[in-house]
Amino acid sequence: MKKFLIGAAALALMAGGVSAEEVKLQLKWVTQAQFAGYYVAKDKGFYKEEGLDVDIMPGGPDISPTQVMAGGGADVTVDWMPSALAAREKGLALVNIAQPFKHSGMMLTCLKETGIKGPEDFKGKTLGVWFGGNEYPFLSWMATLGIPTDGSAEGVKVLKQGFNVDPLLQKQAACISTMTYNEYWQVIDAGLTPEDLVTFKYEDEGVATLEDGLYVMEDKLKDPAFKDKMVKFVRASMKGWKYAEANPDEAAEIVLENDESGAQTEKHQKRMMGEIAKLTMGSNGALDPADYERTVKILLAGGSDPVISKAPEGAYTLEITDAALK
């Protein structure tokens, strides 16, 4: 019966009998395979089948998803949980409604020639760190290790890293922040080999926090019509993600077709999609409360300067995914 109703809705839309519900999705970064599931859902008509007209808005170095949400510029955004929880504590009531990424792709990539073999060797070194909300997992990790970030001999010097790998290539930093699906491969493409590098995956170090999740403003969830729209959006998005996992090369091609900047390459996007599939694997879209609790625990373990000062309340809901998965 449900399939018939969805099909009928799609036919009515094509006939112009029903106006599609608009959804504005703000991405965390530029158009790339990191967001393939959403582009696939749009390209394959999964959103249209649900009666949705989804506007996918790319991010970038000058775009803060939390600020876009605060200004009412989007209905839903992709963000990392540390950034979302930090924003929530500061008064921006973001709520996680779905968690497509089950695993973390974040890591530190270091030059082997610096002598770094383990985290204890970070002391006295310069480490490249992304800011704009991406610094929180790193700062929590250092606090867990008991390593100050004040540039002292017993601590580390934090280099505010741009969204490139230049500090490592130019040897301005012993280590830089990378993602398994993006910057690590930029280092390799620049001429270094895996044997030249030492990598520390946050997940392997036990300090991984949840990455790409879907967030909305808490007050909007009081509107039954909005909640229903988000159920449709999450259901179609997860259908897109599972299609992308099963068809990574096709998903990468769809991403490339949507890259208006023309900056992405087929080789890089296909490689990225292969890595992204490892991060979404095992997720049906529903947030695992155990993953949430682990993330909160890590963010609270910030010593004198924690990312969040107290355990959040109401920071996620399973209502949307429960309804979407029925």
The full set of domain ranges for the chain reads 2-103+210-325, 106-201
Residue 178 per-residue DSSP state: E
What does the radius of gyration of the chain's CA atoms come to, in whole angstroms?
20
Cβ-contact 81, 209 below 8 angstroms = yes
Question: In degrees rounded to 5, what are phi and psi of residue 284?
Answer: -100, 10
Cβ atoms within 10 Å, residue 55: 12
For the chain, residues with pLDDT lower than 50 are: 1-6, 8, 11-16
User: Element (H or E) spanning 145, and its range?
Assistant: helix 136-145
Determine whether domain 106-201 maps to CATH 3.40.190.10: yes
For the entire predicted model, the pTM comes to: 0.88
Q: Do domains 2-103+210-325 and 106-201 have the same CATH topology?
A: yes
Tokens 């946050």, residue? 202
Determine the CATH number of domain 2-103+210-325.
3.40.190.10
